[in-house]
Amino acid sequence: MHRGQLITCLIGAATLMGAVASAQQAVQAPPAAPSGLDAIPDKMPFSNSYGAPIAAARAQALIQAAVAEANKRGWAFNIAVVDSGANLVAFLRMDGAQLASIAVSEHKARTAVKFRRPTRAIEDAVQKNGYTYMLTLDDVVASRGGIPLIEDGKIIGGIGCSGGTGSQDELICTTAAALINKP
């Protein structure tokens, strides 16, 4: 082997050894942090515990607050309030509210209690993050307008509003829920 061939051979060997070392480092590199569904949060999200159920008089007050806001805007809604066990406590169908929204308002209130979060969080998970698996869960509504009622850190019930667009439903519910939910 003459000197030129020897140099070419040594360069090739060095290149090969460098490639092998790089490949070993790539295999041994720590994995990237998981994202999306594979991420493991440090704390349990939406972990408010359940408290004593909302009283009927307070549930009626929430409905009246929702009706007042809807009337101010000229909207007709179905409004449901459930207790901390997701049982219906109070319901009102305003004159002219669509019939399909009767069951939807109750379902939104129950979802907010059972999943311990506003139904908008579920809507966002499906619409913005592609978590379509949520649609396979029992009793889920992926549409805004359901708000858990939280007093002293405990869920005492939920309110669900339906009859308008999602943003209208949410506005009416949030206005009424503000009687209980404090920042």
Q: What is the pLDDT of residues 30-45, one digit of tens each?
A: 566 566 767 787 887 7
Say which DSSP state 124 is in: H
Q: How far apart are CA 140 and CA 178, in angstroms?
A: 23
Residues 6+ apart with CB under 8 A from 24: none
Question: ∠ CA(96), CA(89), CA(170), 5° rounding?
Answer: 55
Residue 47 predicted with pLDDT over 90? no
Q: pTM of the full predicted structure?
A: 0.78
Q: Say whether domain 49-177 belongs to CATH 3.30.300.30.
A: no
- Over residues 139-162, the pLDDT tens digits come to 899 999 999 999 999 999 999 999
Q: How far apart are CA 136 and CA 111, in angstroms?
A: 14
Give residue 16's pLDDT band: very low, low, confident or very high (50, 70, 90).
very low
In the chain, where the domains are located: 3-30, 49-177
The answer to whether 132 and 36 have CB atoms below 8 angstroms apart is: no
